[in-house]
């Protein structure tokens, strides 16, 4: 997808409908600054309002993502291309989220260990020792909860028994026995428990 091309297309369609940026923004319940960012290619409409944007501009989602009007004979091909592009972008976002999980977890664990070692090896008042240990535990647990939330949202878990890929609930992931990103959970499709690995795509 070409954000600049899409932005120019949005501006063209908006003008064809006789709307200013402010008028379009008001109909969508957003700021005109957001519309301006779309039209200059600095961002794209959020997926949550994309259908509403297309309805107001009298275009299809595929035309929006292509940045041009699509003739009937090329519509299906463009639709497939747009879906594949969105799929690749979602996979890349999930990959970045999983990297963020590592970047958060590793320093937090190391900081927790360092604080625990300081509290254990250095002479200090008992109150300070307890405070350091408590702080270390709080840091590790807080980051762990955040990391699990990131892992739960990024990608899918694949049932080892039936191959079904799904997104489990936060607490199902949090409370499941695990080894790195493989967790022992019950599959909602076959109902069996197995060690389920994290994958980024819905299908093979």
Interval 191-202: pLDDT, tens: 999 999 999 887
69-99 residues labelled b (16+ CB within 10 A) or e (exposed):
ebeeeeeeebbeebeeeeeeebbeebeebbe
Interval 127-176: pLDDT, tens: 998 998 999 899 888 998 999 999 988 889 999 999 999 999 999 999 99
136: exposed, middle or buried (C-beta count within 10 Å: 0-12, 13-18, 19+)?
buried
Residue with the two structure tokens 């609930």: 169
pLDDT level of residue 74 (50, 70, 90 thresholds): low
The domain locations on the chain are: 3-70, 93-199
What's the mean per-residue pLDDT of the chain?
88
Interval 54-69: pLDDT, tens: 999 999 888 898 898 8
Q: Which residues pair with 199 in a beta bridge?
A: 156
Helices 32-39 and 21-28: angle between axes, nearest 10 degrees? 120
pLDDT reading at 40 higher than 90: yes
- For residue 195, what are the CA distances in angstroms to 9, 26, 71, 164, 169? 47, 49, 48, 13, 16
pLDDT reading at 73 higher than 80: no
Among 82-86, 91-95, 146-150, which is the least confidently predicted range? 82-86
pLDDT level of residue 47 (50, 70, 90 thresholds): confident
pLDDT for res 75:
63
- The percent of residues above 70 in pLDDT, for the chain, comes to 95
pLDDT reading at 204 higher than 70: no
Instruction: For residue 11, give the nearest of 48, 46, 59, 79 by alpha carbon.
Output: 59
Mean pLDDT throughout 6-34? 93
Determine if the pTM surpasses 0.85. no
pLDDT for res 90:
82
pLDDT reading at 71 higher than 60: yes
- The percent of residues above 90 in pLDDT, for the chain, comes to 45
Domain 3-70 fold is 434 Repressor (Amino-terminal Domain) (1.10.260)
pLDDT for res 201:
84
């Amino acid at each position: 997808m070409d954000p600049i091309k899409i932005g120019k297309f949005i501006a063209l369609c908006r003008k064809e409908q006789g709307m200013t940026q402010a008028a379009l923004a008001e109909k969508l319940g957003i700021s005109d600054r957001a519309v301006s960012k779309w039209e200059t290619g600095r961002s794209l409409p959020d997926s949550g309002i994309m259908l509403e944007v297309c309805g107001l501009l009298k275009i299809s989602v595929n035309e929006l993502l292509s940045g041009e009007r699509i003739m009937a004979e090329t519509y299906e091909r463009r639709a497939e291309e747009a879906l594949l592009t969105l799929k690749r972008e979602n996979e890349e976002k999930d990959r970045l989220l999983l990297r963020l999980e590592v970047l958060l977890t590793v320093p937090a664990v190391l900081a927790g260990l360092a604080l625990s070692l300081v509290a254990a090896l250095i002479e200090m008042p008992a109150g300070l020792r307890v405070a350091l240990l408590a702080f270390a535990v709080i840091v590790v647990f807080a980051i762990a909860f955040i990391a699990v939330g990131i892992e739960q949202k990024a990608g899918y878990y694949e049932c080892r028994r039936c191959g079904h890929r799904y997104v489990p609930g936060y607490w199902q992931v949090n409370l499941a026995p695990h080894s790195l990103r493989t967790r022992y959970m019950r599959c909602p499709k076959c109902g069996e428990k197995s060690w389920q690995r994290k994958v980024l795509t819905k299908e093979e």
